């Protein structure tokens, strides 16, 4: 009979470990999305810490937090993409550079759509419920 009780305890411990692992995965998924991709003191493109004066030099508002260097690149990308500027002063800002910016922006848009998906919003609700326990 003792063996049956031990088996029951072991099964319960395994269930508890699986629940804890699932809980950790959920919390980690949220942490990565919010801490890593939404940090307002880090550049959204390169990850450098943003100086408080970066906003002062902006030609126009951007949808992302950029350091001065990435902000200047973004402004040039936007100007060239809109046809307001033909070529760059920097020879390395070629068609590949334009494509890299375009795909980076598409990736950011995909992340924004993901954060608005019903499944992700359900994950937020579940983690909030877990944290209240």
What pLDDT, in 10s, does the model give residues 73-118?
A: 999 999 999 988 777 788 999 999 999 999 999 999 998 899 899 9
Residue 5: inside a domain: no
d(CA 88, CA 80): 8
Say which residues have a Cβ less than 8 Å from residue 58's Cβ, sequence separation at least 6: 71, 75
Total structural domains in the chain?
1
Residue 78 lies in a domain: yes
Please check whether residue 133 lies inside any domain of the structure: yes
Check: CB of residue 98 under 8 Å from CB of residue 79: no
Q: What pLDDT score was predicted for residue 131?
A: 74
Range of the domain at 87: 41-133
- Is position 80 within any domain? yes
In-domain check, residue 34: no
Neighbouring residues of 42: CB distance < 8 A, sequence distance ≥ 6 = 48, 49, 50, 65
């Amino acid at each position: 009979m003792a063996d049956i009780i031990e088996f029951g305890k072991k099964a319960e411990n395994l269930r508890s470990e699986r629940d804890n692992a699932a809980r950790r995965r959920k919390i980690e998924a949220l942490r990565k999305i919010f801490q890593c991709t939404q940090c307002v003191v880090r550049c959204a493109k390169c990850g450098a810490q943003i100086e408080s004066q970066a906003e002062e030099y902006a030609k126009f508002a951007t949808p992302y937090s950029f350091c001065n260097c990435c902000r200047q690149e973004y402004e040039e990308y936007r100007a060239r993409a809109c046809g307001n500027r033909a070529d760059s002063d920097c020879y390395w800002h070629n068609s590949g550079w334009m494509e890299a910016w375009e795909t980076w922006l598409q990736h950011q848009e995909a992340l924004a759509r993901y954060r608005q998906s019903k499944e992700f919003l359900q994950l937020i609700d579940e983690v909030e419920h877990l944290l209240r326990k």
